[in-house]
Structure 1
Amino acid sequence: MYKSTLALAVAVGVLAQQANAAGFVEDSKLSLSSRTMYFDNDNRDVKRDARGRNGDNRESGQGFKLDYISGFTEGVVGFGIDAQALWGIHLDGGKGHHPDNSSFIPSDTDGSAVSQWGRFGANAKARFSKTEAHFGSALAPNLPILVSNDGRLLPQTFEGGTIQSKEIDSLTLNAGQFTHAMGRASSNRTGLSVAGGTQDSNKFQFAGGDWKVSKDLTLQYYYSNLEDFYKQHFLGLVHVLPIADDQSFKTDLRYFDSSSDGKNGEAGYQFSNNGGYAKNTGEIDNKTWSAMFTYTLGGHAFLLGHQQIGDDGGFVWLNQGSVVDDNGRNEGAGGASFYLFTDSMINQFARAGENTTFGQYSYDFARLGVPGLKTSISYLRGDDIRNKSGDGSYNEWERDARIDYVIQEGTFKGLGTSLRHGVYRGSGEAGADMDQTRLIFNYTYSFM
């Protein structure tokens, strides 16, 4: 932490001397984002503990995110800096409805929700021609091999460095290394791991690119390595077939090949395989493919897809491990996203052997003269789930619905509201039944 902080401080000092350079200030942006959220997660069949709690999470909170994004100084190589301040406030916990493992509000030493928490991060950046490099502690990647999670009050962020190059027309190259992450419900940074891991890696490296073959076809390849846990290859294809002015057919194909690396399988470096089967206990060995097809007609969108998780082990993605404090309580670091269609509101559908068929219908009411109003409903069903002993007779399903509205004009222009409700049910060892509701209000004000 000391080395990265010192390097960033030096970068800030250099930039301060050039702050008056054209572009650095002229292209700067400063914005304040507000998110108010009510989160209700009802564990339907979990027994109550000694304190009378059954793991239900029923709380509300307020999050603020202040972002400063500078332009670049003039010259062959331009320099800049981005800074981010995050602040979360606990509004109401609903007595008895704040579990110790909550990923919504951090837990205090007595197991209750903290009143507030926050953190600060900053990135130094440089640009040469059409290539940009970023280094710091407020990185939010959105790549096939790593997706920053923003599903609660505050976003998950990463510490490390990235570089993106667009020197070649139609080709975007990305590479980088991350060493730590800051969880969405935590003020602390943690090392990098996988679900079930208790030891840190602190070295996640990746490289890959997106090749836009034509205006309708994009091909992707990425490689990533979480040292001592896994190596992963990704192949992707996205094609959009225009049918008419208001009609199109989209094909989205994805394939992951993940294998063990270094100490994976040893004590502390074991992967939970998402609670399912593993050919070799604690080791990573998975191949996953998925296909999604979307037909769009005016404001209507019809989506249908299928996903197959390999039989030898569950799908793996970067997480923050089983991070607990000195009292054995979750630090709020949990909660990570990944690049599968089945990364749903409640469940992941990522156990060994699982065959998942899913569909979604959505409608944009702008076609009826109500811009900003959208709604969708989706359903996923996973079969052939293999439990730890290899029995593949389990299944699970999830139904999600949401409605979103963003005010388009007037005093409250830009204020967004989202109501989401999900229902999850699983058979046998598939998972605990849950009902979940989220009510979210988002607003961003730009100062410059």
Structure 2
Amino acid sequence: MYNRSLPASLALAGFAVGISLTNTAQADFVKDSKLSLGMRNYYYDADNRSGGADQREWAQSFKLDYISGFTEGTVGFGLDLQGLVGLHLDGGKGKHPAANTFTPSDGDGSAQTTWASAGATAKARFSKSEIRYGSTLAPNLPILVSNDSRLQPQTFEGGMITSREIDNLTLTTGRIEHAKGRASTNSTGLSVSGATQDSNNFRFAGGDWKATKDLTLQYYYANLENFYSQNFLGLVHVLPISNDSSFKTDLRYFKSTSDGRNGQAGYTFNNNGGYAKNAGKVDNTTWSAMFTYSLGAQSLMLGRVQVSDDGGFVWLNQSGVVNSAGKNEGEGGASFYLFTDAVVGQFSRAGENVNIGQYTYDFATLGVSGLKASLSYMNGQDIKAANGHGPDQHEVETDARIDYVVQSGMLKGFGTTLRHGAYRSGGTGIANQDQTRLIFNYTYSFF
């Protein structure tokens, strides 16, 4: 399969290398470089309790990352390279869905046995500012979150500038043009859930201000041309109570509105399968408040998320984008900056009020360093029926997670994660599902 972002990335790579390998400038470029191989073994089991096809797959991924240093001088240049290889180990007949989000599909709909892709990002640094342009961007911002919850990471192609010239203030701006899904070797344009058209213009800007050592304030603006504009406000405050206890407040507010052709054929937003005041258009306000009390090895998180009545929450999601043959290429599956981004459900439809609770325990205090466990519960009520006239709907999910990372010896850094989610809906039309994920991670650093 042809990767549209790869030729541009390789051209950038050659340009950056040519700049970097001059005189003594090569020293820092090489000396500060890092080369690592990440290995992920992943078993994924989605059991649809309401009927319909199940999904059971097992695969192995290898991710080779080269991260260079910067050349010497007022402006330093560098280059990051990434190569991905995947091996499908087992899936069972009929256990690989057409609209997959785990591994790429062959022409007949079965899982590919092997696949590979590569990308590069050129970078430059001036003072305390850095610019990156390429195809391996993995932002973690309130308005754009790269998803790494499956076998391989989701990456973006475009440019970003990050500046820390002012103490305690981090400013970020950029423009994203393409995305490569976690189950694909191709890049596509950008879109939203339910749309069949795409856009090559996602612009964003914002900043994080650490007002005090305990208080961080955030503002971000994002615009996906012909789909939506979005404003975000955030506040994070940590109140120390004693040497081993604290109280954390995390407030998030999103305001999203329609842009350009949104609502026209192909540019419609399906409002996450829920109600829309204006059919196919983005019109949403979502806020969340989360409070976490930590005491020693334990933490208890309680909170609430409220989605406005006019339409569902919106974020970048290429799930509806297909290739020239009309087939899904595994571009679906995207993260968003809400606490309702759960194992199975999303809890993000019009009118939904979600109550959330989570308990986490760190077993290091019992002498088992590296072992952590958590249990969370989400209950979404008052979901407006898609037709706007039916009775309100609801959904519930219980998630459990266990993580263990080896702390010493030959396998130091070897990690195991077991996640299980049980989702049940009431009148939403979404299938009840039990989902289990068993993941083994290990990264070897060459230098």
Greater shift in the superposed pair: 32-41 or 407-416? 407-416
Of all paired residues, the percent bearing the same amino acid is: 65
Cα deviations by residue, 1:77-125 (Å, 9 ceiling, x for unpaired): 1110000001111000122211111111111111111101111011100
Other structure's SS at 1:270 match: coil
Distance in 2 separating the partners of 1:18 and 1:202: 39
Hey, what does 1:177 align to over in structure 2? Answer: 175
- 1:349-401 per-residue CA deviation (whole Å, 9 max, x = no partner) reads 00000000000001000111111000000000000111211135100000000
Q: Does 1:24 align with 2:29?
A: yes
Q: Which residue of 1 aligns with 2:66?
A: 68
Looking at structure 1, the residues matched to 259 and 292 of structure 2 have their Cα atoms a distance apart, in angstroms, of 36
The answer to whether the Cα contact below 8 Å between 2:10 and 2:120 also exists between their aligned partners in 1 is no
State the 1:72 CA deviation: 0.6
Q: Give the structure 1 partner of residue 250 of structure 2.
A: 252
What is the total number of aligned residue pairs between the two structures?
441
Deviation at 1:262, TM superposition (A): 0.4
Alignment partner of 1:431 is 2:436: no
State the distance in 1 between where 2:322 and 2:190 align.
14
Q: Name which of structure 1's ranges 160-169 and 102-111 shifts more when overlaid on structure 2.
A: 102-111
Pick one of 78, 81, 94 that aligns with 2:79: 81
In 1, Cα distance between equivalents of 2:204 and 2:35: 30
Is the Cα contact below 8 Å between 1:273 and 1:352 reproduced in 2? yes
Secondary structure of the residue that 2:133 maps to in structure 1? strand
Unpaired runs of at least 5, structure 1: 47-53
Q: CA deviation at 1:21?
A: 2.6
SS at 1:346 equivalent: coil
Corresponding letter in the other structure for 1:16: L
Deviations 1:313-345 (A, max 9, x none): 000001124122455432111110000010001
- 2:34 & 2:293 partners in 1: Cα distance? 37
Question: Does the alignment pair 1:40 with 2:45?
Answer: yes
Which amino acid letter does the alignment assign opposite residue 408 of structure 1? Q
Structure 1 contact 19–25 (Cα < 8 Å) conserved: no
Aligned ranges 1:286-301 → 2 under 5 Å = 286-301=284-299
Output the CA distance in 2 between the equivalents of 1:214 and 1:340: 24
The residue that corresponds to 2:419 in the other structure is 420
RMSD: 1.3
CA distance in structure 2 between the aligned counterparts of 1:343 and 1:238, rounded to whole angstroms:
19
Query: Could you tell me how far 1:13 is from its partner in structure 2?
Result: 2.4
Report the Cα distance in structure 1 between the residues aligned to 2:17 and 2:88, rounded to whole angstroms: 33
After superposition, the Cα gap between the structure-2 partners of 1:21 and 1:362, relative to the gap in structure 1 and judged at 3 Å, is same
Question: Which piece of structure 1 moves more, 104-113 or 122-131?
Answer: 104-113
The residue identity in structure 2 corresponding to 1:380 is M
Q: CA deviation at 1:56?
A: 1.0
> 1:402 aligns to what?
401
The more displaced of 89-98 and 294-303 is 89-98
2:70 and 2:249 map into 1 onto residues whose CA distance is 38
**For residues 439 and 319 of structure 2, what CA distance do their matches in structure 1 show?**
28
Counterparts of 1:307-318 in structure 2, within 5 Å, are: 307-318=305-316
SS of 1:25 mapped into structure 2? helix
Counterpart CA distance in 1 for 2:176 and 2:391 is 36
Structure 1 range deviating more: 319-328 or 68-77 = 319-328
**Closer, same or farther in 2 for the Cα pair 1:246/1:429, shift >3 Å?**
same
1:9 positional shift: 3.3
User: Comparing 422-431 with 244-253, which one deviates more in the overlay?
Assistant: 422-431
**CA distance 1:355–1:19, change in 2 (3 Å):** farther
Show the 5 A alignment for 1:191-270: 191-270=189-268
Could you list the runs of 4 or more consecutive aligned residues of structure 1 that deviate by over 4 angstroms after TM superposition? 1-5
- Asked if the contact 1:33–1:66 (Cα under 8 Å) also holds between the matched residues in 2, the reply is yes
**SS state at 1:12 partner:** helix
Distance 1:18 1:249, change over 3 A: farther
Q: Distance in 1 between matches of 2:196 and 2:18?
A: 38
TM-score if structure 2 supplies the norm length?
Answer: 0.96
User: Which digits, 9 at most, give the CA deviation of each residue in 1:286-333, with x for residues without a partner?
Assistant: 000000000000000000000100100000001124122455432111
Aligned to 2:444: 445
* Contact 1:129 1:167 (8 Å CA) reproduced: yes
- The AA in structure 2 aligned to 1:39 is Y
CA distance in 1, matches of 2:348, 2:306: 9
The answer (yes or no) to whether the contact 1:107–1:329 under 8 Å persists in 2 is no
CA contact (8 A) 1:396 1:430 kept: no
Report the alpha carbon displacement of residue 248 of structure 1 after superposing the two structures with TM.
0.2
Is contact 1:192–1:321 with CA below 8 Å preserved after alignment?
A: no
Aligned partners of 2:296 and 2:210: how far apart in 1?
A: 25
Q: Secondary structure at 1:21's aligned position in 2?
A: helix
* 1:121 and 2:126 aligned: no
Aligned-partner Cα distance in 1 for 2:23–2:223: 37
After TM superposition, list the pairs within 5 Å mapping 1:127-138 onto structure 2.
127-138=125-136
SS of aligned partner of 2:365: helix
Q: Which amino acid aligns with 2:413?
A: G
Contact 1:353 1:392 in 2 (8 A): no
Q: Say whether the 8 Å CA contact 2:145–2:336 is kept in structure 1.
A: yes
TM-score (norm. length: structure 1): 0.96
221-230 or 403-412, which moves further after superposition? 403-412
State the match for 1:357 in structure 2: 355
Work out the CA distance in 2 between the residues paired with 1:352 and 1:365.
39
Is 1:12 the counterpart of 2:10 in the alignment? no
Bigger drift between 399-408 and 104-113 goes to: 104-113
In 2, Cα distance between equivalents of 1:402 and 1:429: 26
Q: Given the superposition, is the C-alpha separation of residues 246 and 287 from structure 1 closer, same or farther in structure 2, using an over 3 Å criterion? A: same
